[in-house]
Structure 1
Amino acid sequence: MSNANSNSARMKTIFRSKTAKALDRMEDPRETLDDSYDQQVKLLQQVRLAVAEVATAKKRIELQGEEMGARYQRLGSQAAEALAQGREDLARAALERRAMLEGQVAQLQKQFTSLQQQTAQLQERERRLTDQVAAFRIEKETIKATYTASEAQVRANEAVSGISNSITDVGSSLDRARDRVAQMQARAAATDELLASGALTDLTAAPDADIERQLAAVSAQAEIERQLQALKGADAPGAGGGSAQSGSGGWLGIGQGGA
């Protein structure tokens, strides 16, 4: 049972490792940062929209309060005028309406005060969020620039490493080529010696070329013996300057006969 658990844990570890590597290849941190920044900007826009909506509602209540305040003042004037004209009933009705209006104004004042507090809170949140978004944007661009520079450095290092490997491969290829050339030269020299000795048959040579080659070797040896005897005769007493004559013709006389 323990072996099964151990194998299962090991498989989970391998799976997590491979998954993490795959995610690293698929996920570009620059895109992730841009997405996060876009989300924060959207949240900031929502807060600003909420601030605008609350401000609009507060303005609407403020206008309504001003209208109710004007009516309140008008009812007071009407009550005084009615009482001056002896219409106490009208004055009482105006004062009753004014009293009712006071209750409505009181409720409106509470709403207005609440909206003022909400507006102040939202404006403070908007200010803080604006600062956070601005700071995040600067940090985001810094991280992106650093990542891009590091990525370029990695590519440059990989390129240099690839060049080094290529140079190493080229050096190995040159060494192998030199060995092959040396082997081929040695083989060519060996086959030349074998052809010269007759051990190999030169299929491109003329018929009886081997006999001609041997006769030429005998003639060359005989010519050497003749020249040797001529030199010995020239060194004998009474011999007349044969060596001097042999050199009188210069280099054009070499090999043209005579000692």
Structure 2
Amino acid sequence: MTFSSRLRVIFRSKASRTLDRLEDPREALDDSYEQLVRMLQEVRVGLAEVATAKKRIELQGEEMGARHQRLADQANEALNQGREDLARTALERRSLLEGQVASLRDQYTTLQKQQAQLQDNERRLAERVAAFRTEKESIKASYAASEAQVKANEAAAGLGSQMSDVGVTLERAKDRIMQMQARAAATDDLLASGALSDLTAPPDADLTRQLSSGTTAAEVDRQLRALKEARAARSGRPAGSGGSEPEDWLRIGDGPQSP
């Protein structure tokens, strides 16, 4: 596999892992759940605002009701005092207040219907959110179990993007080992033939090595001739006359010796 081919394999594996993360259904489920929760929160905020407005109108209506009763009492008191003009004024104000209370009552009824509708929507949406949450967690658990099983099966079979990366790394390591082995063998051949000199060796070390090799060969030839002469000489001697002395080892290498 060439270097460009390895790069393509690595790029495809990493791109595949990125797409898998982007297409993870667990993230999509979590996003949908968060959207439902935000919708539920908005409905509850709206419900609280409607309830607040309704309560404000209710308090205003109670205040108007108290004023309506007070104007009626003032009209009666004015008649008792013979002040019909004041009684008329109180009744006129009371009549005008009744129109305001009727308008306020209509607003209160509208808000009451809106509150009931929002409460119903909030209840149904809350039930939907709870059911979706339960189903979401079940799906996520099933997906996680399936993903773990797939990874285990791919690892056992030597498949998957991670195993592809491992295979590429292993192949690259094998190529490097073969290159180093070939280089080591080539340098051994060059050193043995003398074509590659040892830069750390003393000057003229190659000449010394070749002269030493020739001297060793000459010494071996000399010892071989001596061995043949000694065997020929022993053939005419009595047995046991060619034994060695205990101190003979001290003279090894001192000079020409018969084996």
TM-score by length of 1: 0.52
Distance 1:253 1:231, change over 3 A: farther
SS of the aligned residue for 1:206 comes to helix
The higher-RCO structure (CA 8 Å, 6+ apart) is 2
- In structure 1, what is the equivalent of residue 207 of structure 2? 206
Work out whether residues 33 and 133 of structure 2, in 8 Å CA contact, stay in contact via their aligned partners in 1. yes
Residue 238 of structure 1 deviates from its aligned partner by 1.4
Find the counterpart in structure 2 of residue 222 from structure 1: 222
Counting only pairs closer than 5 Å after superposition, residues 80-99 of structure 1 correspond to structure 2 as 81=80, 90=84, 94=87, 98=91
Amino acid across the alignment from 1:206: L
Question: Which residue in 2 is equivalent to 1:120?
Answer: 112
Deviation at 1:127, TM superposition (A): 3.5
Percent identity of paired positions between Structure 1 and Structure 2 = 7
CA contact (8 A) 1:233 1:239 kept: no
- Whether the 8 Å contact between 1:44 and 1:130 is mirrored in structure 2 is yes
Partner of 1:178: 177
Distance in 1 of aligned mates of 2:78 and 2:249? 153
In 1, Cα distance between the equivalents of 2:55 and 2:119?
Answer: 16
Whole-Å separation in 1 of the counterparts to 2:70 and 2:251:
146
Contact 2:223 2:258 in 1 (8 A): no
Distance in 2, matches of 1:34 and 1:239, equals 112
Label 1:140 to 1:254 Cα distance change in 2 as closer, same or farther (>3 A): farther
Superposed displacement of residue 215, structure 1: 5.5
Q: Distance in 1 between matches of 2:241 and 2:115?
A: 130
Question: What is the CA RMSD across the aligned residues, in angstroms?
Answer: 5.3
8 Å contact from structure 2 (residues 33, 129) kept in 1: no
Q: How does 1:11-160 map to 2 (within 5 A)?
A: 37-38=37-38, 41-42=41-42, 44-76=44-76, 78-79=78-79, 81=80, 90=84, 94=87, 98=91, 101=94, 105=98, 107-108=99-100, 110-111=102-103, 113-128=105-120, 131=123, 132=125, 136=129
Deviation at 1:241, TM superposition (A): 4.8
The alpha carbon displacement at 1:44 in A equals: 3.5
Q: CA deviation at 1:223?
A: 1.4
Deviation at 1:100, TM superposition (A): 8.6
Deviation track 1:117-147 (CA, whole Å, cap 9, x = no partner) reads: 3343333345345554697499679969x69
For residues 35 and 46 of structure 2, what CA distance do their matches in structure 1 show? 17
**Aligned partners of 1:254 and 1:213: how far apart in 2?**
20
Aligned residues: 212
Whether the aligned pair in 1 keeps the contact of 2:54 and 2:111 (CA below 8 Å) is: yes
In 2, distance between residues paired with 1:170 and 1:201? 33
After superposition, the C-alpha distances for 1:170-228 in whole angstroms (9 at most, x for unaligned) are 53344234323432343344335534xxxx69775339x75774454233223123224
Kindly provide the CA deviation profile for residues 68-90 of structure 1, in whole angstroms up to 9, marking residues without a partner as x.
123224434654x47xxxx7x94
Does the CA contact (< 8 Å) of 2:75 and 2:91 recur in 1?
A: yes
For the pair shown, the structure with the greater C-alpha radius of gyration is 1
Alpha carbons 2:40, 2:122 under 8 Å: kept: no
TM-score (norm. length: structure 2): 0.52
